[in-house]
Structure 1
Amino acid sequence: MSTILVIEPSATLRFGVRRAIHLPGLELQEDADSAQALVRLSSMSGQSGCPDAIILGWPARATSELHELATVLCDPPCNRIPLMLMVQDTQALNGLALLNRKATLIQHWRNLEETTANLQQMLLAHNPPNITEQEQYPVHVLLVDDSKTIRTQFGGLLRKEGYRVTLTGTAAEAYEVAKQQPIDIAIVDYYMPEENGDVLCQRLKRDPATRHIELAVLTGNYDDVLVTAVLASGATECMFKNESSRLFLARVKALVRSCEQRRIIAREKQQLDNILDSVGDGVYGVDMEGIVTFINPAALKLLGYDRESDLLGQSAHALFHYADVAGNPVDPRHCFLQQAYQLGDELLQWETQFQTARGTAISVECSVRPRHFDGYLAGSVVAFRDISERLLFEEELKWQVNHDHLTKLLNRQYLEQALEQEIRRLFRTGETSALLFIDIDRFKQINDLAGHAAGDQLLIEVSNKLKQRVRQSDLIARVSGDEFVVILHNVKQEKAYKLAENLREILDEAVFQYGERVFDITGSIGMTMIDASSFSAERVLANADSACHTAKCQGRNRIHLFDEDKDISPFDKQEQGWISRLTQALEKGRFQLAFQPVFATYHVQSILENCDTKHDGQSNLIDAIECRCDFYEVQIQLPDAQGNPLPAAAFLPAAERFDLIGNIDCYVIKRVVNLIRRQSCNGCGSMAYAVSISEQTLLQHDFVTLLDNLVSEAGVAPEALLFSLRENHPGSHAREIQAKLTLLYARGFGVILGEQVRGYTALTHLRQLHASHITINENFIDGLPTDPIDQAVVRAIVDVSHAQKRKTIARHVENLETCQALAHLKVDYLQGDFLAQAISESELEQGVTVQPARQIV
């Protein structure tokens, strides 16, 4: 059992170390305080009680206690303990005495996956394999001859050369000695009274305990028949008694070299076996036919076998990868792994299923690497790990994203996606569906009288009742508070009304009891039909919500069907004025532009590290920013009646619905191009601007031509404009969008891929779409400093983006800790009011580049 001491104040980072180490036989001890670790190590005498290795987190700014701990680690006995320094920035180690220790290894926190390999390397270097008793002695030679004179003569020659020699006069005595002592070489007289030397050689080669011995036969005469018999018996040398002593010793040295080579091979095999035994992942080897040649204990355990002999010499396909993920048998000729064995292909992180000895399936991630010998394929080595827990975790994560945690129903986010898909399906098929908006009557009264716990219990009971009554093909979700929505697929109006009545009845029949209080439950239901003319999910929901409100106003506990001719939803009332308002804003140029600075992360990080702290504990980040930002994100605003700017989210959805968004986007692009031209003419230098456009704008047939003409006439380089899609609907016009983005990218314009795409398609879009930048979803930004899951997701996005030569952008950065975490994860650009607020177009033309940021507390 090896003891590893982890010294790191951050509980999150210590958790990361624990998750990263996959070595059996390790005991992890943790010290969160360097002073506590100092007391522990200072109390140790000699090597007793010392850990086998230390993992020490070294921050950008080390405390005095940490420096004192470093001094202890440089002095005996701690200076002999292997030390792994975990750092975020190697510059923090400049001048550190720990770097002069012999047993010190440096690793970046971002490379936690390398911890196991580095730790194993340190432990093996500090504790090399034990030298066996046999290796402590010189080569041991057994000399067998019935002539005492010959034994004395040749025995003396061997001893003078430093060999250990044992002399015997009979074959029987020699055989017993060879079985009881560690003999390396046996030199056997051919003619002996009891049995000839070739017979003894055969016996030695047949016995597993002696077959390793290098054999030579000693004879007085050269005879072809005799030499042939000697070589056939397993001997590798035939020596002659009448040859010179130098030639005899030269032949012995040739046998010694064979012994030494065998020892080296045995030692390397033992080290390899030790490594394989200590590796946490399963490892096995196969030849080109897929026959198992070796397997480590971890693989035996994962596959449920007790002995290595249960698998050696058998087909890996027949034993544990004979079925696909669905459990269906797979012919070896069509098995991906079997083909990799035969062709010598390399597979990395291939996810499949292995069957255990008990017949159960486990999900595994395996890598296949071919082995070559003298330029020829000799087989493959396969490393695999059980990823069942990880897959379950991912499924749980997806479930949480799409479900309401209280009622376990689907949530609003999933409902909106499903409703959009249903609208597109109905547009293609011409069928009809219905949407029900269900509100529990007097829910607030129950909450007020019995408490929120009672309200939660009521929501759970109502959700269970609704789930029992809806059809299997229908979708039910909780969208907020006491409001539920049901999508009834492929129903006519009459059938939909009957299904809605069933749900109303089940609520009307329900009685809710909480403690001593009893409440009668009813629900009001608004219903709207969905067909090919339902052009947006937002409108469908608004219509059903309005119908539900009407049902409540009519006395509750009833159903109201939304009538397009009679009912006016709040959605319609709100949007009736947007058409004229947006049209007038375009005609009279009332839209305003704001410019949010975007900074390179390395620049912000260096500023934060050198920012002076004032006496009141605060410092203003803007005081430290001495140069302009890297580029600006353009934001469009519309003044309200009081002159206050409305954000884009307040009016752009209406602009999209009434086909005004293309004109607005082009208006913004023209103003930005003119701004770039004026800045260039005024000698202000070039600056890049990121502009958000809608899919409708991008898909206009003349959009790219319009862009080309604008930048050409203004003399503006395409690189000065970066475009991002304001919203993306997975599966909607995907091919056309991909083609247009590819065309923009080919013309030299920057393309920013928004990571806010719904669901889990972001990484898929990364691979498919041409883009120069990608933004990271703000949901992963908020909890980044403390949430290891968010850190893992962001790290994956950054790694994939960098592998494809793309830059990453983190928006809505709101505090110092998040800045530091994003810098550690190597995100390229940062944006947020914490760093700098947006500036107006007039301020930008006056030379103002950055507005003051919020203060760092």
Structure 2
Amino acid sequence: MSGILLVERSTTLSHLLRRTLAAAALPVRAEIGNYLEAHDHLRRIGRPNSKDPPYALAIIGAPARATREYQALLEFARHAPDAPATLLMAHEETAEIRTWAATTMRGRFLLWSQFSRIPACVAELAPEEVVTESPAIETGTRVRILFVDDSRSVCQAYSDLLGRNGYAVDVADSIGEAEQKVAENAYDIVIVDYFLPDGSGDELCRRLGEREDPPILAVITGSYREDIIRRCLQAGASECMFKNEARELFLARVRTLARTIEMRKSAEAEREQLDGILGSVGDGVFGVDGDGRITFVNPTGLRLLGYGDDSDLIGLLAQAAIHPQESPRSSPLSRAYSEGVAVHHIENMFRRRDGSGVPVEYTVLPLAGSGQGAVVIFRDIAERRTAERLRWELSHDPLTGLPNARHLRQRLIAELARLRDRGGYSALIHIELDRDDRHEPPRGDELLRTVAHALAHRLREGDVLARGEGDSFLLLLSTVQVDNIDVLADSFRQLLAEREYAVGEVQHKVHARIGAELLSPRTVTADEALAHARAAADSGRERAVEAQQAAPNTSVEAPSPAPVSAPSERLRLALEQARFVILVQPLVAIEGLPRASAVGENVGWQLDKSELEPLFAVQLRMVGKDGQLIQPRAFIPLAERVGMVQRIDLWVVNGLLMHLANERARHAPVGLIARLSPATIADPDSLAAIEKSIVSTGVPAERLIFEISDSPELANLPAALHFITRLRAIGCRFVLNGVDTEAGLLPFLHSLRRPGDFLRIDRNVVGRMTTAAADRDLVVSIATLARSMQMQSIAGEVEDDATLQALQEAAVDYVQGRRLGEARLIKRVDFSKLLALT
């Protein structure tokens, strides 16, 4: 019989067993984490034809709740003739364990809190596994022991025994002499007799335990009295020995203590080595505990975050000190701290000590398991972003943001290679713009941006639109039909013919010549395809000239000046002259409201009476020349058509952030719901601007709730999905307005496990629910759908008690309307005062 079998389901406890046995030089032959598997394994080992020798000892960890497999394993260990001796480990002694220990001849029970006694138990149950004459620890430094006993003969006997086994031993005969020797020498272990002439052993243990860097303490006595043992352990003793036990067992206990010293010294050396490694690596590293508090920061991390000493960070919440712009509920970092989930290569913005941001890429590695904390490795990627920006500028046109001709040529080369490999047809379309110069010269920038915007909305997945030389654009259309090439060219020609662009007070039409080149496996080079497409566009100019020469009396009448300024100019002036205002209207939680007729006027503004998060819907108005407030439906469609809606949306977002950052709203936990247009959702530059504004103002991202339309078009735009994912990652929340249960954005986001936080029910449905049973049922269905997806439902346009009562019966979560509170100018709203925070 040889070796030890470990049976323990917990990885942590199994590791503890391995380390304890290794410190005592005890051989572990096998580890099994399943009771049924261990039972079968021991039965196979015990068969006559087995080639493996039986185990000398099995150490079994008891589960918190006994299972049939565990009980079967204990029964086998108790009755099988070839079963090894058994050491049963448990967190507490139960009646079942006591019965087992009393009826087992070759078994012993030990609490996990007494794991340091495992080597001694092994020596009792399987003495052949213990090497009795080996040195205490296999290092160049001997363990120093002070033996304290008032009997000279006892001191001599134990001093000789310990000296023969490789220990350095001093003796003392009283508490006073022991304290003096400990003050003059560095001892690893102090073994104390309980009865001393000037006091008791527990008193000496208590005094020595109060010293800085105290030695390991053990008490040796000839008495087995429970009160003595308890007092010694409570005084700080790690072990209790007995003078009448076998010398081999005494040495085993000492070796266990010596191995503890070796492990402690090894851990200190490893820690010093780790500190040296952390100090030399080029990445920043900081650790957090399960609560997200910083436990250490390496020098590189301190430098990147702008700190001179780690004491300024240790103990602080990492979420508040390093990444405050993220919501604790949705932050990948905070989830990794608490749930033990690893994340890799995530880009984010960390805050430096001076409040500035540093762009980083981080990886989070959890410690041990869920709730035990984590290590965060991060690096400054500002230079990489600069390099990426340079690469972007080399391949893109700065005016339109489109790829340039060089980038398109590379894509064209790849497309031709694909066609030669797989067959099929593609198309290259060259668009040449003709400037209208019969009036004052129009601004070319406005013309180019208008055409780029129009063409970009016609792209399919896989198509490429690029800015060519001068006033030209190039379109690479992948996978087309031969018969459709002329139809495609005509569709783009018609699209641009319907477009106008404004210069000052004059509207201009877009004049373009279009040439198309069919790409096939026989197309030789990219330069050849580009030349043919350009020649086709030039031939279009020649045909137009010939047509005009054939009919010299015909002319194209120039557009007359518009009687009012161009739409884009009006909106631009409104932004520059601050002729937009923001209003907020409260949302009221249905929960806790009395019946509709008992709800008071302006109940939405009585925030101090609600325990739920205060929510407000943001409303935008433009101020006319006569001071009248203009509704969004009068100017937002116009702004979308001329490409200015993104600027208006960003103005609203910046205005909300500035208001939330001032003293009157900084500490008020309110959520503001702002509606964004689809063009803003699909615009990467708008996303970058919103992220930058949130970081620069320091406003918690969860204070902003963006309302977007639930549409199939957005679900098919990668930029829109990227917009939602990025802002949700830093803590922003989303309201989906309207529900298409079959093809909208909501089911698509739900399939990616990224649904919104709120669901707004269409205002028309709410308005009809008091008169139409179908609409009333639809509201109930939408509210139920929202709850099933862990979202909250919002219903607006509540104008009367009947509508409010119907919404209460439908169990929506929030309601909004003039019946509950009129909208107010945000600059006149003091949220802190409303919430009684001042």
**Both structures adopt the same fold (TM-score exceeding 0.5):** no
TM-score range, shorter chain: 0.3 to 0.5
- When the two structures are superposed, what TM-score results if normalisation uses the length of structure 1? 0.34
